Structure 1
């Protein structure tokens, strides 16, 4: 599928920079390169050229690389100009390139969208490329690379192939039941495999939370009574005065958040208002926000001032919790009885590093338990859930007739195909590609 337009965009980082990469894709690419670079360059070979406007004026000198289609990222003719990364240089090159007839500035994600439409990548790999560009931690990078290399897409396609085979066997039995070369009954093998697949998909869906932790972060919420040391711990972990710390109770009124990189995992840490009953109107709003935030946490840090303990009432069923005794320096190095998981002093730093290590261990454990290949988007989970509902209906309705059960298998395979783009998914493309930067 070749587009009528040629597109151009900056594919490198924010200007000014040492080097800027300007990417072009489309049918006019070769003509633009020949005109600006003063002649054609060898395919896939970086050539140092003096770049000129059509009127002969020198724009800059830089490297030019030409990738002929279909053996390029987009499947079209593609070229890159690697030039000096000054704003004026890039602006003048853009003005010159976009001045050619049939050339325009690219929209967000348009290069990758063309790659998808030309069969160079599937939808799952496309989404993984966006994750790779946005990766901030080592775990995010590994997750994105694995999916970009096709592990996730291959899992969904393998399920789809099994369903297509199952349908073929059922329909063969329906249409050619009297033929000698058709087995008398394929039901046992087909429905046994469908039942196994239902379990596989259910286990895969259960790993979505681990995928969310990798992509969005492990949610840690600090809770406790006023003056329990929540903001002091928050500042110690942030390594800056992110929250106000005073002896006056109720200083923190709103949620404060920082993002940490703990052993390659993204961890989102939230400081909250002190939990107490006697609070003013504004502070009460902050307390309600704290309780609401706690319900969505992966880990709660319940802080207790060991020098003046005040228990807090909190419903935390199903949420991992660490009970942390604070102000160890005020109890002369001896933790008061109370069954604390960790004891710390933010004044001298005692126990803070060990607490961070424990948070990192708990975050890594949640990810490790889910397996290697995880859903990376809510879109995937929703379609997988629909597929499984069709499979369950087919497997649990033996009296419905083979034709209806085969139709349910078709609908399940259709949902799996939509994840990778093996069927018509035009209604999803705008949403997916709008998440990309302009030059990707």
Structure 2
């Protein structure tokens, strides 16, 4: 494939004005999130807080995410998704603007940070499923694969690379108010971008409102009936949740201690490892956007996830820090491939009437198990216990993949852009009309 043709395929979703606005909103808000991620500990310390206060702030954001994600899915299926995303961004802007005003008045306290963190987490939980469900309303199915690759590229660049670097510079040169104000501005601008999303362009298949809405709201029980009626869907959601339970604790809690205690590294080495995974994620996203999706889409997705998970079993035996780097590359590359495939598969296989709630259930499975995984990783510190967690975290996903490939017929899932036969099933066999009508 020529370079020009690859570039044309990867940038095809940007031909749609409404999608350009949505992606620009993503980019701007994620830059602010990347700045906030790095700057938050210093904002708390500038206010006299310590590790316990910082833990309260981070925990409040997690509580907001977990407690509101199912609400976000329901809102995404009941109201125009553009409106849900826009008001979520506006709520984040208001919370951060209030922090900035309190800081200017010299009245900012830790509990204000805790409250704002909860609002930011809740807003992300509400806007996230709506945004994922909204993308198929803005671009054609042929371009969905490239659109998700573009969003993955934006996320990796903004939240893993540019945003954190900018946050470090701002904290070094300015003060906490500048960081709060910048993050508030990013959400305000993102809300304006979403508000500018207008009627469909000529030739586009989505409704005039720019939002694909069901004829009537579908009850939550009907969405659950759809979920458990699609064997491939609930099994893959359970698969991904189980892998996060096995892997997020060792990666986020134990890996820094492994680098420090066994390999003689420091924070710069850990930062380099994270940066390498981010670069690998960007490369994977760019390559995916430039290539046509494979026919055996779901199977390749599962194999990519497995290839990204397996290196964890070897990390605990690495003789030096430099041996960890290619393992980080494998994780960043293949996990990104699997995530892009999964987002596209859900968007093309799940009916619009229940898509927001299915995505929110998937989010909940991911979010709820990450804190539990961290707790399990912190239970013991012995060498044998740590080795066991790393080995199980890398090998059990391989076993789970083999069992899934044996028990679930993934070949029934068509790749994005492939036209289904008239009357053919959506996903593994449920017609969208049956979901809407409740039959």
Q: TM-score, normalised by structure 2?
A: 0.24
Greater RCO structure (CA 8 Å; 6+ sep): 2
Q: TM-score, normalised by structure 1?
A: 0.24
